[in-house]
Chain A
Amino acid sequence: MTGERIAIVGVGQTIHKSKRTDVNTAEMCAEAVEAALADAQLTIKDIDCVILGSFEPADGYSGPDKFIIPEIGCVGKAGFEMQNVGTTGGVVCATGFNMAAAGLFENVLCVAWQKMDEAAGAFGRGGGGANEYWTGQFPMSPITNFARRTYAYMTRSGCTEEHLAMVRVKQDQCAQRNKYAQLKLGLTVEKVMNDFLLAWPIRRLHMCPTTAGSAAIIVCPEKRAKKVTKKPVWVEDWFTCHQGGALTMAEDPTASTLAYACQKIYKRCGITNPNKQIQAWEVYEPASTAELRWMEEVGICEDYTAWKLFEQGKVGIEKEVPFNPSGGVTATNPIGCTPVVRVVEAALQVRGDAEEHQIPGTINRALATAYGGQGENVVFLLKKSL
């Protein structure tokens, strides 16, 4: 890297809920911005650039940044809006990182949001993400996508429905300790296995919920970051991996681009043993069952063996593999904002500020990701020290 080294100096998120009738979208964003500013002990006057983004198909706007800007006090500031469907939040963070690292700004604010209570049941023909003329005519949705992936995963790995339920229970146990998480259900394996079946083997509890929520981060170049906070979270590297294909080109129907993206970023950062070198994981899993494959793709274990870790009870906040300590996306999913929540949670873990769901011990490095479409990913590596 030839640009400035950068750090996250403040993070904020709203308490995620299924419905927010007390605020409109812009006011909800303002809550996250207030939280991030308070966290960084900055005021809005310090911010000189703002990057926004949401999953527009669920927003009812074409360019919602325009009406959100005044509500978050950013009139007169530089910035623009980003969008890449499911990975939008990831791209928002990546853009913020680029703007700060470019040396153009001192304090860059990244804000993402989604108010799914406005969009629930809003999609008609054409669907949410099904956009190209042809893809709209195929029977597809995230549920069918993950049903297919999980079905293929089960036949290849030998994992059973019970293991899938264990994954969901672990996520719920984590979410119960996260005050910002939306779903805290007190699940048991039995409860999950008896839940409504959407498309075998995907049950309703396996899919991510619809959430109204917003998250914000503040990024500064090195010099400024050291002035602003005693606990900067350094952004080591990031990589956007989009493949622009409705129907995946991969031979393996369970695969996403995550493995490729991780290999690339690990090589750049000298990571040879991810299990040892990365202490916290916040990986975007739109369905709980995806967590198994993603664990393999990020390099925690061999292909098709992640379910064994659950069987052996090795996954959890205080356990060997601290995967998605926040409860993950199946607990909280304000779509366009979800990747920012991953980065926020990863940063909190690095700082040791995750309170109830803090992973014990020192977190030197954390990995956060964004997922979208049929296998698009953005990967971030955060570090405690330079």
Chain B
Amino acid sequence: MARRVGIVAVAQTKFEEKPGLHIGELLYQTSRDVMKQTGLEFKDDGTGIDSTVASGYDLMSGPGGAYMFLGYVVGAWQREDERVIEDGSMAVYYGAAQILAGHADVVLVVGYSKETQINKNLIECLSLDQVYQRRIGLDFVSAAALQAMRYSTKNGITPEQLAKVVVKARKNAKNNPYAYCCDTITVKDVLKSTMLCDPIRVQEAKPTPVDGACALILASEEKAKKLTKKPVWITGMSSCYDHHELGYRDLANCDSLVTAASKSYKMAGITKPLKEFDVAEISEHYSYQELLWSEGLGLCGKGEGGKLIDSGKTEMGGELPVNPSGGVLSGIPHCLAGMHSVVECALQLRGEAGDRQVKGAKKALAHGVDGPAGQLHCVITLEN
């Protein structure tokens, strides 16, 4: 990228069921947090925050236009206030693009989700085309199960390898005070848990419902240097769409992730991702996804996701720790996962990740995904 965009502040709530909190309170808490860190407020003379980008599905919060009635909560009254209807990583992507475009110097990115309010599966099902896939009752869980089956049968991925992903996630989550699920669990426990949708077991799917919010402040290079001593730079970013119809794709591949990754690696000058990155946060809503997305992200060869988890390279202390935060499998709400990845990577690169810190992390990889069986991926590379 010709110019750089810096992350100058990040915040997140504890991820848990919060039936006593209004969405506005979630948003206010996190946005206030990042504004306090930087001392910034919304201003219209170019000395404060110029714009805000939010993420989240409308139908998650109300029958329509929910965020429209919440923009003022973060302070964006009569200001640039736009919303990406995708995973949170896309909001970071767009916020950074606003700065590169020179349209804004400082952008507040917020994401919120209250899964306790709705049936997540129903809202996800409403993303599917009405005539074919939704009519037969498919949703994101069954779509993921179809992909898991195809991926594991084609590449000989064993149930034990998939269970290891869950074990690793929960183990890492113990070090993360914000995580929802951090119980000690063994491969055996995972394999014994109830079947949700063959081949995905309950423990292999993201826990739900979980509530929470994330916020970041992005700034142009010049301003970022003034605002913080520890800016985290976005060095590459891209998103990519795949086919909608599951039958149009080979579900054992994730072509759109390969494209998104290669584009952002090219921007960032990354050629050997496994070696060059020090930490990665991958949105794995189901256990198989960490392995498949790792392949797509070029952390291992095609079909070698199983070997990757067996090798221990992605454990804490390994060559490239994947999801030190515990990832989505430890409970990150819908539409927030990608933004959470960026927040966690930023904390790692600032050396502020507490017990889950990867020592000396310099380059990080954040990933977000949306759509049935990973139709839309977003890859963001970061550096300190």
Contact = CB atoms under 8 A, between A and B. Distances in A.
**When A and B assemble into the complex, do they touch directly, with CB atoms less than 8 Å apart?**
yes
Interface of A: 1-4, 24, 50, 53, 55-57, 60-67, 69-70, 74-85, 91, 94-95, 97-104, 123, 126-133, 135-136, 238-246, 249, 257, 260, 264, 372-373, 376
Nearest to B103: A98
Contacts of B241: 50, 69, 74-79
B191 interface: no
A56 B59 contact: yes
A76 B259 contact: yes
B contact face: mostly helix, strand, loop, or mixed: mixed
Given A2-B220, A62-B60, A80-B90, 6 more contacts: A80-B93, A81-B84, A101-B100, A102-B101, A128-B63, A242-B80
A241 to B, nearest CB: 6
Which among A69, A104, A238 has the greatest number of chain B C-beta atoms within 10 A?
A: A104
Contacts of A257: 78
Contacts of A78: 238-241, 260, 263
B92 to A, nearest CB: 11
Contacts of B174: none
A378 to B, nearest CB: 9
Interface string B53-70: 000011111111111111
Contacts of B375: 66, 69
B86 A81 contact: yes
A128 B244 CA distance: 27
27 contacts: A1-B102, A1-B103, A61-B127, A66-B127, A66-B372, A66-B375, A76-B255, A78-B260, A79-B241, A82-B85, A84-B65, A104-B97, A104-B100, A123-B63, A131-B66, A238-B103, A240-B51, A242-B82, A243-B71, A243-B72, A244-B68, A244-B70, A244-B73, A244-B76, A257-B78, A372-B68, A373-B65
Contacts of A61: 126-127, 130
Nearest to A102: B100
A116 to B, nearest CB: 14
A304 B60 CA distance: 41
A240 B81 contact: yes
B115 interface: no
A127 B63 contact: yes
Interface string B236-259: 001111111100100000011001
Given A82-B84, A103-B2, A62 B376 contact: no
A346 B248 CA distance: 39
B355 interface: no
A24 B244 CA distance: 15
B44 interface: yes
A111 to B, nearest CB: 13
Given A70-B244, A77-B240, A80-B84, A242 B64 contact: no
B293 interface: no
B127 A62 contact: yes
A243 B78 contact: yes
A135 B243 contact: no
Which 4 pairs between the two chains have the least Cβ-Cβ distance? A57-B64, A244-B71, A2-B102, A101-B101
Interface string B114-149: 000000000110111111000000000000000000
A239 B3 CA distance: 23
B370 interface: yes
B83 interface: yes
A102 B370 contact: no
Contacts of B14: none
A242 B76 contact: yes
A363 B239 CA distance: 37
Nearest to B238: A78
A7 to B, nearest CB: 14
Contact of A243 (B65, B77, B90, B248): B77
Contacts of B82: 82, 84, 91, 94-95, 240, 242
A63 B97 contact: no
Interface in B207-251: 220, 238-245, 248
B64 A56 contact: yes
Contact of A242 (B81, B86, B243, B372): B81
B103 to A, nearest CB: 6
Interface string B30-52: 00000000000000100000010
B102 A128 contact: no
